[in-house]
């Protein structure tokens, strides 16, 4: 089965050991599967394979130093930790695994390991006796207890001449295992409809009313739902983002077009409706057939209210599970709670778009999620991470909805 890591960001950590030669092939396999790869190498790893080799294969500068002025000016260890969807250490030596288990942070690799919210995995590689040692197995158990995935080593002839368990898995196997980490199955068999991006409300043939929505949150949710096993229909306004793999995209322009597409998609079958689109509240009452000329210092345009898409879908007799979004600039939580009840939603995620570091156009977001008997704060993180968290929350609440 071909691994799929499209749009995923992988930090590959390489520690010291002869198996480091396999890491070169692993970078190629990860990129072939669609991942973007950043490589971090320990000092010992550089004795086995050069940073120049890994830079050529990954297409990115290799990170080797914790306190590097140039790296801090660009992508420091915290930014690198936040960038990743997955941190994989392959090979993971006995020494590195011991330091990870103890929470040591004395080099770049172990520091970013502690600083990341991303999925974490290790692919051990060491002498068979070292792997079998009780302390090593205790470290493995500690890592697993902390939520780390351990890709168990294979058995066979080792570089030292011994035969036994301790060989790092082959690159093609590791790439597939990495892809499998994102396949949660939380929405297996469910049909999800997502609205994303802005709408454009035409004034004349060349002008329109719109907003700053990029569609990134909705597209991240579409990817997260695919990972969770759902069948996804993505109804998007005008955006400049590639359609996620295995997602059916319906492109629309105006709020009325988005409503019609949403109603049609829901009628075909929908278990979850996620309304992330920033739909224009109003549209011009009349669209000029010709370009409006500049006449005088003041112009008046009559606007009429657009239909509320999420509220309209929520009024259906057998409505799907409804996740709404509230992008506000003040009293964010108060407005979100009011919308949750007024629009008959099952869940709402709100954020403060007056912040310049999150929301519209940003790759990051921070949200507070409300449902009828609970809430959860999601601190600032990449939108892909926020999306996976929202999908997990929806899946849990969906059980109660059904």
Q: Are residues 222 and 157 in the same domain?
A: no
Active site annotation includes 160: yes
Q: Are residues 38 and 109 in the same domain?
A: yes
User: Is residue 4 in some structural domain?
Assistant: no
pLDDT tens sequence for the chain (402 residues): 445 788 899 999 999 999 999 999 999 999 999 999 999 999 999 999 999 999 999 999 999 988 765 554 445 678 899 899 999 999 999 999 999 999 999 999 999 999 999 999 999 999 999 999 999 999 999 999 999 999 999 987 767 677 778 899 999 999 999 999 998 889 999 999 999 999 999 999 999 999 989 999 999 999 999 999 999 999 999 999 999 888 999 999 999 999 999 999 999 999 999 999 999 999 999 999 999 988 888 989 999 999 999 999 999 998 999 999 987 878 888 888 899 999 999 999 998 877 777 666 678 888 999 998 899 999 888 888 899 999 999 999 987 665
Residues paired with 371 in a beta bridge: 347, 374
- Given a contact cutoff of 8 angstroms between Cβ atoms, the answer to whether 297 and 322 are in contact is no
Q: Are residues 300 and 376 in the same domain?
A: yes
> Which of 122, 147, 181 marks a domain boundary?
181
Q: Are residues 301 and 351 in the same domain?
A: yes
- Given a contact cutoff of 8 angstroms between Cβ atoms, the answer to whether 259 and 220 are in contact is no
User: Is residue 1 in some structural domain?
Assistant: no
Report the C-alpha gap between 345 and 312 in whole angstroms. Answer: 11
User: Is residue 2 in some structural domain?
Assistant: no
Q: Are residues 167 and 255 in the same domain?
A: no
Q: Are residues 159 and 248 in the same domain?
A: no
Q: Are residues 202 and 173 in the same domain?
A: no
Query: What's the count of helices (H) and strands (E) in the chain, helices before strands?
Result: 14, 19
The 10 Å CB-count burial string (b at 16+, else e) for 150-175 is bbebeeeebeeeeeeebbbbebbbbb
Q: Are residues 32 and 143 in the same domain?
A: yes
Question: Can you give the CATH number for the domain in which 65 is found?
Answer: 3.40.50.1950
Q: Are residues 160 and 271 in the same domain?
A: no
Q: Are residues 214 and 337 in the same domain?
A: yes
- How far lies 46's CA from each of 49, 53, 192, 234, 335, in Å? 5, 10, 46, 45, 54
The 10 Å CB-count burial string (b at 16+, else e) for 190-216 is bbbbbbbbbbbbbbeeeebbbbebbbb
Name the token pair of 3. 């691994």
Q: Which of 160, 178, 225, 394 is catalytic?
A: 160
Total domains, the chain: 2
> Which of 181, 199, 218 marks a domain boundary?
181
As a 3-state breakdown, the chain gives helix, strand, coil percent values, each rounded to 5, of 35, 25, 40
Question: Can you give the CATH number for the domain in which 346 is found?
Answer: 3.40.50.10300
Expressed as residue numbers, the domain containing 337 is 191-401
Q: Are residues 131 and 14 in the same domain?
A: yes
**What predicted TM-score, i.e. pTM, was given to this entire model?**
0.81
Q: Are residues 216 and 128 in the same domain?
A: no
User: Is residue 186 in some structural domain?
Assistant: no
């Amino acid at each position: 089965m071909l691994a799929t890591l499209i749009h995923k960001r992988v930090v590959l950590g390489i520690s010291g050991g002869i198996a480091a030669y396999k890491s070169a092939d692993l970078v190629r396999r990860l990129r072939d599967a669609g991942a973007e790869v950043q490589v971090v190498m320990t000092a010992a790893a550089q004795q086995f394979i050069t940073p120049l080799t890994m830079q050529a294969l990954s297409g990115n500068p290799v990170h080797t130093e914790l306190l590097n002025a140039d790296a801090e000016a660009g992508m420091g260890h915290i930014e690198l930790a936040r960038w990743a969807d997955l941190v994989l250490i392959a090979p993971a030596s006995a020494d590195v695994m011991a330091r990870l288990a103890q929470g040591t942070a004395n080099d770049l690799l172990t520091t970013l390991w502690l600083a990341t919210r991303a999925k974490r995995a290790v692919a051990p590689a060491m002498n068979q006796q070292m792997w079998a040692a009780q302390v090593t197995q205790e470290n493995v158990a500690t890592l697993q207890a902390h939520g780390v995935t351990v890709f168990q080593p294979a058995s066979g002839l080792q570089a030292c001449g011994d035969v036994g368990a301790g060989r790092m898995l082959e690159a093609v196997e590791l790439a597939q295992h990495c892809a499998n980490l994102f396949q949660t199955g939380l929405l297996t068999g469910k049909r999800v409809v997502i609205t994303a991006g802005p709408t454009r409300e035409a004034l004349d043939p060349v002008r329109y009313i719109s907003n700053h929505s990029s569609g990134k949150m909705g597209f991240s949710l579409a990817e997260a739902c695919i990972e969770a096993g759902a069948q996804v229909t993505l109804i998007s306004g005008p955006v400049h983002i590639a359609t996620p793999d295995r997602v059916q995209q319906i492109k629309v322009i105006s709020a009325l077009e988005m409503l019609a597409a949403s109603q049609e998609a829901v009628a075909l079958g929908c278990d979850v409706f996620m309304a992330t689109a920033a739909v224009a509240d109003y549209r011009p009452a009349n669209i000029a057939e010709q370009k409006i000329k500049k006449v005088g210092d003041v112009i008046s345009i009559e606007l009429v209210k657009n239909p509320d898409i999420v509220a309209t879908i929520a009024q259906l007799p057998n409505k799907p599970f409804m996740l709404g979004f509230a992008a506000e600039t003040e009293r964010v939580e108060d407005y979100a709670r009011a919308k949750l009840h007024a629009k008959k939603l099952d869940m709402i995620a709100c954020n403060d778009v007056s912040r310049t570091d999150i929301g519209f156009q940003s790759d990051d977001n921070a949200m507070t999620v409300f449902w009828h008997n609970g809430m959860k704060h999601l601190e600032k993180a990449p939108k892909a991470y926020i999306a996976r968290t929202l999908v997990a929350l929806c899946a849990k609440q969906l059980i109660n909805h059904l």
